[in-house]
Structure 1
Amino acid sequence: MLYSALSVLADEAFDDAEELGDGSLVLGEHEGNWGVFARMPKLTFAADLQWRRRFARAADDPEHGRWPQPTCTAEELALHLALDDAGDQVDELGATEADTHVALPTHRDDYDFDACTDMFFHTDVLMLYNPRFDGIEDPDADTNRQLGMGDLRAAAWFEPFGNTNTRDPHRGFRR
């Protein structure tokens, strides 16, 4: 379910990026029209086409069948969005899809997407959604320094975390 959600997220992000181009999202004007980018923190609304395509690729990067290991803030937020979507997909499973999942080996933690949140993440990128924390993305902000969050400005979202293997920056885009 998670990898399906990541794949759909990447497809939607590539589509939205192409349609939106270098244009900025306007709060309240684009909600619901852009499947991915209207769901992101407002500090990303002015991102350009290249940034949006890189975000779409970040949703594509985790390898199917492997434990998702975000290597940067963009991959981390893509994984957060996909976890939300996967939970929604489970709720919407029809009889045919549910039968397919019943045929798979089971585990007591299947579909526990909240537990995934506790296991997968390096930073609390979700703080960027809270207006109370406006400015926290700046590594020089007092709260950021106190929490040791690092640079969460949009331009730094593709910089690798210090404790992960980096992805090849020349790997290209699937579309």
Structure 2
Amino acid sequence: MRERGAPLGRRRHRGTAIARPTGGRPVTSSGASAVPAGTASAPVPVADEAYDYTYQTGMYRDGTPGPLGAVVPCVADQDEWFLRRYARAFDDLSSDLRIGRFPTPTCAAEEIALDLAIQDAERLHHDEDELVADLETELPASRSDENWDTLQGVLFQDKDYEGLLSYRIPLERDEAERSFEEFDNVPPRDRHRGFRR
């Protein structure tokens, strides 16, 4: 029997879309930049960990989840096809950032990826001062820099996905697949896009 409040138990349609800027860094309703400097590359290390876990390469040859927690426990036992698409969710968000758009999740898998990328960027910012300083030298400062709560409030439509971050019971295949169901109020990703790895 499934625990009460188990993730993805029901799928509700999103009622409102997130406004997007026409260029530059995403902004809050007050016009301030919502994305702290240095977060544009944040999804990449987590994506690399997810790909390494998928292909059992690098330090993940034994199938052990990595230190960044890129592959959440409830989907860690899914097949390679699922895990490749899951890893690509991080890359899709990174692509959004590279072209100056909000990293806008189009499905629950991308919401998970974005949350984990934000957590990793925050950790990096606190633990790797010199590295962060080097990454930020070319970026303009913003009063929203280091405001991780603002990111959580601005970039997500809701927090329905959060139960999956710590859910330890493996999801059934059909339930896990629902994490890729596209939201109806966000433009879908190109179905013919490839995989970085």
Q: Same fold (TM over 0.5)?
A: yes
Letter paired with 1:53 = R
The answer to whether structure 1 residue 162 and structure 2 residue 196 are counterparts is no
Per-residue deviation, 1:34:
8.1
Structure with the higher helix share, 1 or 2: 1
Partner of 2:19: none
Please say if residues 49 and 66 of structure 2, whose CA atoms lie closer than 8 Å, have aligned partners that are also in contact: no
Asked whether the 8 Å contact 1:72–1:158 carries over to 2, the reply is: yes
2:51 equivalent to 1:51: no
Alignment partner of 1:76 is 2:111:
yes
Task: Determine whether 1:14 maps to 2:51.
Answer: yes
Residues 97-116 of structure 1 aligned to structure 2 (within 5 Å):
97-98=132-133, 101=136, 104-116=139-151
Q: Which residue of 2 aligns with 1:147?
A: none
Could you list the runs of 5+ residues in structure 1 that have no partner in the other structure? 139-151
Higher relative contact order (CA 8 A, sep 6+): 2
Match in the other structure for 1:36: 70
Identity %: 37
RMSD value, Cα: 3.0
Tell me how far apart the structure 2 counterparts of residues 87 and 34 of structure 1 sit (CA, whole Å): 12
What is the rounded CA distance, in whole Å, between the counterparts of 2:189 and 2:123 in structure 1?
A: 29
Instruction: Calculate the TM-score normalised by the size of structure 2.
Output: 0.64
Does the alignment pair 1:88 with 2:110? no
Question: Which letter does structure 2 place at the counterpart of 1:170?
Answer: H
Deviation at 1:167, TM superposition (A): 0.6
Mind listing any 5+ residue stretches in structure 2 that lack a counterpart? 1-37, 58-62
The separation in 2 between residues aligned to 1:95 and 1:11, in whole angstroms, is 22
How far did residue 82 of structure 1 move? 0.3
Number of residues of Structure 1 aligned to a counterpart in Structure 2: 149
Query: What's the TM-score once normalised by structure 1's chain length?
Result: 0.72
Q: Provide the secondary structure at the position in 1 that maps to 2:41.
A: helix
Structure 1 residues 167 and 111, CA gap change in structure 2 (3 angstroms) = same
